[in-house]
Amino acid sequence: MIVGLIIACEVAFWVLLAAGLAFRYPLRMPRTGLALLLCEPLLEIVLFTVTAIDLKNGAEPDWRHGLAAVYIGFTVGLGHATIKWADARVAHRFAGGPAPVKPPKYGMARAVREWRTAGRWIVASVVAIALLQAAAWYVGSDGETGSLRAWQLRMVWLIGINVVIAASYTLFPKRAPAEDRKPAKLP
């Protein structure tokens, strides 16, 4: 049941996002669009509540409960950036908004971008780790929490991977191609 609810929450996230942006821009009903976008966090509250009830009713914590915590963490850490990304593109396409800014490809600007991305993934992982820990405490010492601990370890690995990627762009910044670095010729 938990996995089905996670899938339903993911589908509902994209449906609410599409509906919110459709009302906001093509249909020119920004308040309705905003209301739909503000419903996004309700999905995580429902998932959190159902997972807690499932554990309270005696379900053994397993990978599904861990996946629910990870999904909520990822939505907290990455959801806002995803909505902002989609909003910029729909505003440009349907409301005459400015073209979305292309992310930097080279140098320290790219490194800063990578650290921001890593920061989002770190927030997502830390939220997931905290929820997994809360679930372990909620179950207590009587329950088997090994699967929850395994998810926590995966989140620590995810943090490490993101830090290594961001650090690599800081220590070894990608350089612009040679033709982009040549000074312009004067007439």
- Looking at the domain assignment, is residue 185 inside a domain? no
Here the contacts of 41-48 (C-beta below 8 Å, separation 24 or greater) are 43/9, 43/12, 43/13, 43/16, 43/75, 44/9, 44/72, 44/75, 44/76, 46/5, 46/9, 47/5, 47/6, 47/9, 47/71, 47/72, 48/72, 48/131
Output helix, strand, coil percentages for the chain, rounded to the nearest 5.
Answer: 80, 0, 20
Q: pTM of the prediction?
A: 0.85
pLDDT of residue 80: 92
- Looking at the domain assignment, is residue 180 inside a domain? no
- Looking at the domain assignment, is residue 107 inside a domain? yes
pLDDT of residue 58: 81
Mean pLDDT by 10 residues, the chain (187 residues): 88 94 92 92 91 85 90 94 93 91 91 96 97 88 82 96 96 80 56
pLDDT of residue 61: 85
Domain, as residue range, for 48: 2-174
Distance, in Å, from the CA atom of 127 to the CA atom of 160, rounded to the nearest integer, reads 15
pLDDT of residue 133: 93
Residue in 76, 67, 68 with CA at minimum distance from that of residue 123:
76
- Looking at the domain assignment, is residue 183 inside a domain? no
Side chain identity at residue 26, one-letter code? P
User: Which three-class secondary structure state does DSSP give residue 113?
Assistant: helix
- Looking at the domain assignment, is residue 38 inside a domain? yes
- Looking at the domain assignment, is residue 62 inside a domain? yes
pLDDT of residue 144: 80
Distance, in Å, from the CA atom of 10 to the CA atom of 120, rounded to the nearest integer, reads 18
Q: How many domains does the chain have?
A: 1
- Looking at the domain assignment, is residue 16 inside a domain? yes
pLDDT of residue 139: 81
Give the burial string for 143-168 (b: 16+ CB within 10 Å, else e). bebebbeebbebbeebbeebeeebee
- Looking at the domain assignment, is residue 19 inside a domain? yes
